[in-house]
């Protein structure tokens, strides 16, 4: 299955980001901690330029702790910081304030010497369904940004004022026009960054089963009380049997079984899973 999804509004979103980045002091780059490398949009590098970046490994409570620490170190550079976050946890995003102040300390001192009160502005970027709007609502303490559990909820830019001297710009979750690496495309589909309407969910679940069987086999065994012998389709059928996902006549309900697997993964019921293994990408670099 070839995965491609790039709605027209994403082209417009990139153009708007290129304009808005001029009035922004820092970028908050939200990545899903379960697939942080896959969430790096190559189009954003051109938009961001040399602006300081705070990478947010969001949904870190759902990811493999050991892998998350490695990725945190990877995304921490001379011009960037990286924090771990669960943006659904009340006030968790407040940690970003001190990080922003640290990155903008020099600029703020120059403004202070001139007697000018600086309003810090941050642009929040990320692929669809990475949790950008949830993070902003966490920051503001109010439901100002539109949120949802499906990709593509935020269609346009939204400025949100935090207190009197800080503003956040929420932007639409944005992918890139062509997925040359289909493994990355699959990871994005697994975490829910690509609309299900354009996907073959049962077929995608076979790829997911194969990956989890390799990385975290015990999670499948414990969750569904099944053996992992045979091909992914056989494992899916055992899961359907275990959960009584059967059609009339006793046929397997592959669609229902597949959706249940993804729901278990995305809500953390399978276990703490990281799809992007740090060592795999380091080998390729």
Q: Residue 154: is its pLDDT beyond 90?
A: no
Q: Same domain, yes or no, for 223 and 133?
A: no
Q: Residue 150: is its pLDDT beyond 70?
A: no
Q: Is residue 193 part of a domain?
A: no
Q: Is residue 218 part of a domain?
A: yes
Q: Same domain, yes or no, for 234 and 113?
A: no
The tally of domains found in the chain comes to: 2
pLDDT, greater one: 68 or 154:
68
Q: Is residue 192 part of a domain?
A: no
Q: Which residues pair with 69 in a beta bridge?
A: none
Q: Is residue 242 part of a domain?
A: yes
Q: Residue 145: is its pLDDT beyond 70?
A: no
Q: State the pLDDT at residue 144.
A: 57
Q: State the pLDDT at residue 5.
A: 64
Q: Same domain, yes or no, for 143 and 207?
A: no
- Contact criterion met (CB below 8 Å) for 56 and 189: no
Q: Which residues pair with 83 in a beta bridge?
A: 56
> How confident is residue 7, by pLDDT bands cut at 50, 70 and 90?
low
String of DSSP letters for 4-70: ----HHHHHHHHHHHHHGGG-SEEEEEEETTSTTTT--HHHHHHHTT--EEEEEETGGGS-HHHHHH
CATH at residue 279: 1.10.1580.10
Q: Residue 65: is its pLDDT beyond 90?
A: yes
Q: Same domain, yes or no, for 148 and 13?
A: yes
Which of 154, 170, 186 lies at the terminal end of a domain, its last residue? 170
Q: Is residue 180 part of a domain?
A: no
Q: State the pLDDT at residue 1.
A: 65
Distances (CA, A) of 7 to 149, 171, 179, 184, 262: 18, 15, 14, 18, 23
pLDDT, greater one: 216 or 180:
216
Q: Is residue 183 part of a domain?
A: no
Q: Is residue 209 part of a domain?
A: yes
Q: What is the pLDDT of residues 219-232, one digit of tens each?
A: 999 999 999 999 99
Q: Same domain, yes or no, for 12 and 96?
A: yes
Q: What is the pLDDT of residues 199-215, one digit of tens each?
A: 999 999 999 999 999 99
Domain that residue 144 falls in: 8-170
Mean pLDDT: which of 40-44, 132-136, 173-177, 179-183 is highest?
40-44
Q: Same domain, yes or no, for 162 and 222?
A: no
CATH at residue 108: 3.40.50.300
Q: Same domain, yes or no, for 161 and 122?
A: yes
Q: Same domain, yes or no, for 264 and 145?
A: no
Q: Is residue 190 part of a domain?
A: no
Q: State the pLDDT at residue 284.
A: 46
- Contact criterion met (CB below 8 Å) for 22 and 47: no
Q: Residue 32: is its pLDDT beyond 80?
A: yes
Q: Same domain, yes or no, for 106 and 204?
A: no
Task: Mark 245-274 as b/e (b = at least 16 C-beta within 10 Å).
Answer: beeeeeebbbebbbbbbbebbbeeebbbbb
């Amino acid at each position: 299955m070839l995965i491609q999804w790039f709605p027209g509004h994403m082209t417009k979103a990139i153009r708007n980001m290129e304009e808005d980045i001029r009035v922004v002091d820092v970028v908050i780059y939200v990545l899903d901690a379960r697939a942080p490398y896959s969430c790096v949009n190559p189009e954003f590098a051109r938009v961001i330029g040399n602006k300081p970046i705070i990478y947010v490994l969001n949904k870190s409570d759902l990811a493999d702790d050991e892998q998350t620490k490695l990725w945190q170190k990877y995304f921490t550079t001379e011009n960037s910081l990286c924090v771990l976050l669960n943006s659904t946890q009340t006030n968790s995003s407040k940690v970003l304030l001190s990080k922003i102040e640290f990155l903008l300390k020099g600029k703020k001192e120059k403004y202070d010497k001139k007697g000018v009160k600086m309003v810090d502005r941050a642009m929040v970027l990320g692929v669809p369904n990475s949790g950008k709007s949830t993070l902003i609502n966490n920051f503001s303490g109010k439901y100002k940004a539109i949120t949802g559990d499906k990709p593509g909820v935020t269609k346009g830019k939204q400025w949100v004022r935090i207190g009197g001297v800080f503003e956040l710009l929420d932007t639409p979750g944005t992918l890139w026009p062509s997925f040359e690496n289909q493994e990355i495309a699959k990871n994005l589909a697994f975490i829910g960054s690509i609309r299900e309407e354009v996907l073959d969910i049962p077929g995608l679940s076979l790829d997911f089963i194969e990956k989890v069987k390799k990385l975290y086999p015990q999670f499948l065994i414990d969750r569904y009380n099944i053996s992992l012998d045979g091909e992914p389709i056989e494992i899916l059928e055992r899961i359907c049997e275990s959960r009584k996902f059967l059609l009339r006549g006793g046929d397997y309900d592959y669609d229902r079984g597949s959706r249940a697997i993804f729901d278990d993964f995305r809500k953390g019921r399978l276990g703490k899973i990281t799809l992007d293994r740090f060592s795999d990408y380091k080998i390729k670099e």
